[in-house]
Structures are given as structure tokens and as C-alpha cells.
Structure 1
């Protein structure tokens, strides 16, 4: 066999190897360059992602600081009309442009006629500057406290941020058409309420970088108390025993304009003695004996006036003495159950297993007064018999925490004064400024929201609160006893159930009937100017009165004010400035 002499020549073999090696090195170099590019791209992407997250966190902080600054620390700004200027429908500049330009119906004719943006207000432009932000943004931003601002993001980068509010000064609708959108008016104008909805527009940037974020969130306000002026004089989840010579002055508009309600009861009202219900005019004008109505701080006071006397018109209910039932339109209770709607001047309140879910009596009276859910109706009988699960409450001053019911958490957070169950060892959840004594229950100087955790009786010949400075008394019912009231109170009283379960037959944790196991007992000399709400039963001995007083209840509503809260679905990051 003959071999090709060129095939196995050593020189040619080494040349081929060298060529292959060079090609491999070139290929490796190209791959290395590509790998470096991919690595640099990933590094840049990671850096961009970190900067984006950091600037978003700063923008979130701006929202939180804006809420605190305007809604809590400087809420007086919302009352100063000179600080605000109206947006226009076509203004897309900061911060008006963050509000929708979609038209809404403002006159109830069914036609969208005004852009939402054109009904809202931003701050007047100022000379306020923020390093790192354009003056076109900073001019409309809140002047946040410099000591509380963030200068450096979590990744160590310097940051600049600010937040601007756009306000809807909520107005009463000019028409009674149902389902109208929220109406906004001019600050201080007629028909504008104390409620506001504020949209905060927060902008954050990293100076020298392209990283920026714009976040938008809207806060609304709701009354701390749920419609005090609409409450009947007496609302009870158990039987309201209108016994003795109890006098009740009706709320003439509790059931709607011109519809009086004196007692609203989930169960049947038991009446004995010479109880009467009447309008204020009959109570004060036609009273008898030595009773003497007198003007008192913008209202009328007469602790021992009487209905149905000295030629007065017939009372609303119980015009006949003795044990004869004579319920008028102002008594809302139940005889039997909701399957029998009733006849005559009033009808059965639908609030049982036969009427669920049409519950005409509130299953949770704590929510009825304070707007916070505390009880759950687990068996669909229109009565919340089971306390909701505990929540963790933290004392904002000391940091102490505790597991408490949602009603107690609300009271710890909002009570002006708390009378502890054990004065020698008060709960660490009570702030130092809240700590009160039993003397609060015997002083006319007592005002605001007072929570008494134990020994909550109000003695005879004492006055709590005044019409100009009324009280909201939350009196905890002892486990097997009653709260006793014999003095005079100007304000609203809430008798609170302290157990974790309640008996539908009594409306409380009590298992017995009045008077042995009542939640409340009113004794001779007691007078409440305002409203009474109780979880459970009540019993009255001797001459007492519960008098609807619109002046007192209006003052309570004004004094307690509103609570801000974020609106569901009101956060977005759709804008960019």
C-alpha cells in the first residue's frame, strides 16, 4: 500500500492544530464578550430593580407622612379656604392631573355634566422648594417636617420626595336622587359638610438617576360616632322594661322626617306602672306639680317634668295608666315573631331567624354606635351572640401589647379617659393621659368619651356632663349584676356587654329576667338628656326620664369629629411626574 506523503507530514499536522487552537480561542473570546455583556445587562437590571424598589418605598413613605401631616397634625389647613385653589377639567399638571377627568352627575338629572377633577382643590402655589425635585412639583407639596424626612434609601442612594394633596370638600347633594356620586363643593361654602376626601400624590426621585415613582392614594373620613342625632332615646337588645313612672321624650325624626321613635327594642317591651312617652313640647309645657323647666346652656332642663299632665295632648304611647298596653307609632318592638307583621299603629320589628337577612334591628349594637364590628351573628337569627376574635392592641406611648376584643381595642385607642377595673393595677394598655378615676362619674366637668371598666354606677344627686360639654359614657356591665343610674347625665350612655357570648333571650350574657339580672337599672331621680343604648335588659324603679336632646347629641357629634381611613381600591401608580 502506498501512503500519501503529504498527509502525515509533521509540519502540516502542527499547522492544522494551531489553526484549530486559534479558532477555539477566538470562539472562547467571543463567548466571553457575550457573557460579559449578559452579566453587565443583568447587573444593570438588578441595579435598576433595586433603585425602582427603593424609590417606590420612599414614595410610600411620602404617602404615610402626608396622611399624618395633613389629617392629624395640621388638619386646620383643611378649614382655611384661602389655602386652596380649584382644579380645572383640562388641567393635567401636578397634582390635579392625578384625578380622573371623567364626568359625573352633579345635579341628579341622570347626565354626567362635570368632570370630577373640576370639583376638587389643590394647594395654592408657593415658593416651597425641595432639593432634587422640580419647582413645578414642589410648589404644590406639603411642607413636611425636615426632621422626619428620609434622606437616604435602603440601598444607600440619596433620595428626594414630597407629597401634594387634592381635596374634595364633601357637600350635601342638591337633590334627593338616589345613588348620586359623592358631591364636592367649595371650601366654606353653604351645603359643604365637615367631611373631606383627600387624594395624596407622592413623588420620589433619586437625584442624578432616572429612577422615579409617583404613587396616588385617597383617604376619606367617617364620623367617629354613628349618627348620634338619629338615635332613639332608648335602644335595647333585650327587653326594655318601661316600668315605674319612666318618662320618655321621643326623638321626633328618628324614623325619618316627622316619624317619632321613643323605644327601639329587639324583644317585646314590658310596661307596668304609669310610664308615658311624648314630644318635648308636651313634656316641658304641660308638666305638673313643682317641676320647673329652665333654660340651660342652649337647651331646656327639667329632671322631674312629666308627660300627660295639666291638659296636655294625648301622649304618644301608654296614655292609660296601670298595666294597660297602649303602644303608639313611637314604640318599635316585637310581639311574637316576624311571621306576624302586626296590625294597628305599629308593627313587629323584623329581627329573628324568620326574617333573616332582613334584620330591622342592628345585630351588633357596638357597631350601631361606634361603627366597629365586635359581635358576629353565627346562626342567622339577626342577633350577634358571639364576640369576634381578639385583636392585638399596642399602647402607642409605652409599646405594651395585649390581646383584646375589637370593641375594647377601639375604646383603648379612642377613649379620652378610662376608669380601670382595678385602680391599684391598671391595664398597661391604658395611656398615662387616659387614666381616670371614679370621680369622673360624679362631676359635671366630665366630658368626652369615658370608658368605665368596673363599678360604673352613677349615684343620686350627681350630674355628669353638661349640654355644652356632654359625655359619651361606656359603662361595662358586671358579669352577673347591673349598672345602676340614679343621677343626671348629659350625653349618650352605652351599656357594654363584657362577656364573649350572649343569650338571645336576654340580649346579654345574663340568663335570668329583670329585675334580678338586668344590664341596667334606673332608679328614682335618674335623668338622661341625650340617648341610651344597651346590650341587654333594663328596668326602672321610681320616677326617671330619658329625654332626647338634639342640642346635646349635636354637640357630641361635633366634638367627636371624624376618623380618616384609606378607601378600598384608591391606591395606584398609573401617573408619572
Structure 2
């Protein structure tokens, strides 16, 4: 006998086959969907990685530009391009404008850095501004500026700023307290008198005869002369020391090759005939809690600051012997004359101007809130 296939068993077989095909189709669709999702995730990960690499490259370019400004404050912003192996590349450039103020001219530099990922599929642009400004915020109006007054017990010779009190109004000494010329042999004179060798005879002021070129007991004298000159309050003097190119315990090493800001802790003795600074490369010499002595023939070109720290009670003085001098200016935040010190100071406008223009005396500060990426 032969078995008969019933219509019911045929229908069951068709249903099973249909179910299997449907399940396989669903599984295939799920697999394709999952693959597509994974592909999207991988693409997103790759894009994120590329953007991060491009961002890091742009940041590297920005940091390099800021580093260049620190070394070369007058960098003209010429385009920089560099490839970073395995990291991408950057192109950086800068543009600048002058900000003219009464006391000094500042430069505002806008930096733009464009970074690319290694495959060049992602690009990030970063911009930031930097302000370049001189360490010397205000140049001294007189060759000798003293907070606390002066008693000229030793020899005293100061060559005036011809326009220190205004155009055509000479100014030799500026102080918030009394300047006493009754003792010693103090004189002040005109630039031409000094150049002709007649400072001792053709004078503005002399012992017992103080002239209007000495402005003492001035109620308009700054409350903090250090802050006035350097824009750093006296009680934050460590900020000024941090700006120094050299921090020394004495002045034995100072000479023709010395440059920039020199901070000396303690007494400073400048050797005979030593030349520290020059007209094109002046120095800022800060003598903290110590006497300053210039021996015969020694010359400092630039700005000298005799600085007594806020907690210090000891008296200090300046001794500039005959034949030695400071060309530029001298500032002291304390009384001078305790030990009958001698002073030879010659005002020099061009030297002091260099202290605001020379690249060695510039600060670079990133402008808060100026950073942008896009």
C-alpha cells in the first residue's frame, strides 16, 4: 500500500518553510542594521579622533606662536607651517595693531592657527589675542626719583631732564619729602652744561641754593613709586623679581655682556671702569636690601632701582664715586643720605625710551576671553 499525503501535512510544511525564510530574512535585516550602526559608530569615532588631532595640531601652532612672541615680541606674524608626524599639521599667522597710551605704546596681536588631521578630513581653527606691553609702565620724569627724601652729605651731581616738568621745564630731582642741599657739594645742571664740562659752575641748583628743578615735598608724588614705575605694588615685589633675567647675590659678574633685568640680593659693588649696559642695550639693575657702589670709571646705562623690601628696617645708600655715573635714571623707594653717599646721574631720554621699546623689557599676556575655536 502507498501512504497518501494529506493536504494538512502539505500546509504544515509550507508554514514551516515560510517561518524559516521569514526568520532568516529578519536575521539578515538585523545583521545588516547592526552592521550599519557599527559603521556609523566607527565613523563617528573616526571623526571625533580626527577632530581631536586637528584641534591638538591647532593648539600646538598657537602655543608655538605665543612662544615666539615671548622671545621676539616684535614678531611680524609671518605664517608658520609645520607637520607633526602622526598628529597632523598646522598653519599659524598673526596680525597686530598698536594701542597708544600716554605712558607707553602696547601691541595687540591676534593669532590664528589652523590645524588639520593626518588624513586632512578634519580642520579646526583657533584664534586668540595676546597683549605685548613694556615692563616699565612709566618712565621716570627726573633722573633721580626718591621716595623718602635726600640729604646730600657727599658730592651730588645730577644732569636734569630738560622737559621733566613740562616742555622746557627742567627737572633734576623728584621726591615726596625734603631734598636737603645745605651740606656737601651738590649741584644740578643743564644737559649742555654737562656736555661742555661746566656742570659744577653753570648750575640749576647748588649747595645752599635750591632751584625749581628740584621738586620735593610733592603732594602729587605717587604713593607707591614701585607700582608707578613697574605697575607692580611694593608688597608684590616677588613678581618683579620673577621677571628678572638674572638673580644674583652680588655684582662681581656684571660687565659689558650684562643685559636685561638684573636683580641683586644684597650689596652691589661695580668694579672700577666696568661698563654695564649701553645706549642701545640698556639694563634695569635692581639692588634689593643692599648698598650700591660704583667705583671710579664705572658706568651703568639704563635704570637703577635701589629697593628696600617692605619688612626691612635697615638703611641703605648709593655711592657713586668721582668718574663713575649712571646714565639714564635712578629710583629709590627709601631715604638717601644716611652714609653721605655720592651721586652722579645723567638723564638720557633715548636710553630710558629703550626701556619701553627694547624686546628684552616686554611682557606677553594672553587676553582673557579672547580664545575661540571653530
TM-score higher than 0.5 here?
Answer: yes
Name the CA shift for 1:475/1:562 in 2 (closer, same or farther; >3 Å): closer
Which among 431, 438, 450 is matched to residue 252 of structure 2? Answer: 438
Q: 1:253 aligns with which of 155, 163, 168?
A: 163
Q: Distance in 2 between matches of 1:523 and 1:69?
A: 39
Q: Tell me what 2:241 maps to.
A: 408
Indicate which of 76, 84, 92 corresponds to 1:163: 92
After superposition, the Cα gap between the structure-2 partners of 1:446 and 1:562, relative to the gap in structure 1 and judged at 3 Å, is closer
Residue 217 in 1 paired to residue 128 in 2? yes
Change (3 A) 1:55 1:332: farther
Larger Rg: 2
1:534 offset after TM fit, Å? Answer: 2.3
Matching of residue 421 in structure 1 with residue 330 in structure 2 = no
* Higher strand fraction (1 or 2): 2
Find the partner of 1:151 among 85, 92, 117: 85
The aligned runs of 1:360-375 (5 Å cut-off) are 361=222, 363=224, 365=226, 368-370=228-230, 373=232, 375=233
- Output one character per residue of 1:363-422: Cα deviation in whole Å (capped at 9) or x when no partner: 361x54455x3x4xxxxxxxx3x346xxxxxxxxxxxxxxxx3333211xx34xx6x428
Matches of 2:336 and 2:344, distance apart in 1:
13
Question: Per-residue deviation at 1:213?
Answer: 1.2
Alignment partner of 2:178 out of 269, 275, 288: 269
Give RMSD over aligned pairs.
Answer: 4.6
Q: For residue 482 of structure 1, what is the aligned residue in structure 2?
A: 291
- Corresponding residue number in structure 1 for 2:219: 348
CA distance in 1, matches of 2:291, 2:68: 44
User: Which 5+ residue runs of structure 1 have no aligned equivalent?
Assistant: 1-11, 79-121, 124-140, 154-158, 177-192, 286-292, 294-299, 334-346, 350-359, 376-383, 389-404, 423-436, 504-508, 511-516
How far does residue 496 in structure 1 lie from its aligned partner after superposition? 3.4
* Contact 2:109-2:131 at 8 Å conserved across structures: yes
1:121-170 per-position Cα deviation (integer Å, ceiling 9, x unaligned): x86xxxxxxxxxxxxxxxxx43x5x6xx41212xxxxx2332233344x4
1:237 Cα offset (Å) = 3.6
Distance in 1, Cα, partners of 2:362 & 2:73: 14
Change (3 A) 1:448 1:209: closer
Aligned equivalents of 1:370 and 1:51: distance in 2?
Answer: 46
Partner Cα distance (1:206, 1:559) in 2: 39
Looking at structure 2, the residues matched to 245 and 464 of structure 1 have their Cα atoms a distance apart, in angstroms, of 22
> In the alignment, which of 277, 291, 305 is matched to residue 199 of structure 2?
305
Q: TM-score, normalised by structure 2?
A: 0.72
How many angstroms does 1:494 deviate by? Answer: 1.6
Q: Which of 495, 499, 522 lines up with 2:319 in the alignment?
A: 522
Cα distance change of structure 1 residues 30 and 239 upon mapping to structure 2, 3 Å threshold = farther
- Paired with 1:370 and 1:63, the residues of 2 have a C-alpha distance of 28
**What SS class does the counterpart of residue 495 from structure 1 fall into?**
strand
1:199 CA displacement: 3.2
Task: Show the 5 A alignment for 1:59-208.
Answer: 59-68=58-67, 72=71, 78=76, 141-142=79-80, 144=81, 149-153=83-87, 159-168=88-97, 170=98, 197-206=108-117, 208=119
**1:87 corresponds to which residue?**
none
Query: Would you say 1:563 and 2:367 are equivalent positions?
Result: no
Q: Is the 8 A contact 2:318 2:343 kept in 1?
A: no
- Which residue matches 2:329? 531
1:452 aligns with 2:264: yes
Contact 1:217–1:566 (CA under 8 A) maintained in structure 2: no
Q: How many residues align?
A: 359
Structure 2: segments with no counterpart, 5+ residues? 1-10
**Distance (whole Å) between structure 2 residues aligned to residue 218 and residue 152 of structure 1:** 29
* 1:56 Cα offset (Å): 0.7
- State the match for 2:53 in structure 1: 54
Q: Closer, same or farther in 2 for the Cα pair 1:49/1:362, shift >3 Å?
A: farther
What TM-score do the two structures reach when normalised by structure 1? 0.50
Measured in 2, the distance between the counterparts of 1:24 and 1:41 equals: 25
Q: 1:210 to 1:321 in 2, by over 3 A?
A: same
Q: Secondary structure, in 3 states, of the residue corresponding to 2:249?
A: coil
Partner of 2:6: none
Deviation string 1:416-467 (CA, Å, 9 cap, x unpaired) is xx6x428xxxxxxxxxxxxxx6153xx5x455234434441246x6453475
Q: Distance in 2 between matches of 1:490 and 1:483?
A: 11
Q: Which has the higher contact order (CA 8 A, sep 6+)?
A: 2
Distance 1:163 1:254, change over 3 A: same
